[in-house]
Structure 1
């Protein structure tokens, strides 16, 4: 258990940051799920639109430290190639 004032403050900060990061991760997954659903439905226009809205969210997650840069790049690459394959 945290005893020093500094350790208690760090514990409070960790709780707050955990909640914020969890919300960010959930929000990004929602955007990615919308792209997946559009791809599954076979609608190329909807999938491309969903991908365009998901991309800045994913990159914002990288900026905020929720995802690694390469993870986001890999996800975007795979999704964009799947959207491109529709038609």
Structure 2
């Protein structure tokens, strides 16, 4: 355990952010299976704005979602 006060705070902050990021990522995965295109894209864009995922990964996720759902509807 860290002895420096700022290090202790950073540990708490990083744990909080890690839990938030995990929740957002798992929510996006759930949406990709159960939600509409607009809801998925909105959630991905919000995750990018919060810094949870990189914008290039967001583009890949949207593209992957489009490809998988265009095949299933044909």
| RMSD of aligned residue pairs (Cα, Å) | 1.6
CA distance in 2, matches of 1:84, 1:30: 18
TM-score (norm 1): 0.72
Q: Which residue of 1 aligns with 2:38?
A: 52
More relative contact order, 1 or 2 (CA 8 Å, 6+ apart): 1
Larger Rg: 1
Q: Which moved more, 1:5-14 or 1:72-81?
A: 72-81
Residue deviations 1:1-58, cap 9 Å, x none? 21111111111111111111111111111111225xxxxxxxxxxxxxx112111001
Q: How many residues align?
A: 73
Corresponding residue number in structure 1 for 2:62 = 76
Gapped runs of 5+ residues in structure 1?
36-49
TM-score w.r.t. the length of structure 2 is 0.83
State the alpha-carbon separation in 2 of the partners of residues 25 and 83 from structure 1.
20
Runs of 4 or more off by more than 6 Å in structure 1?
none
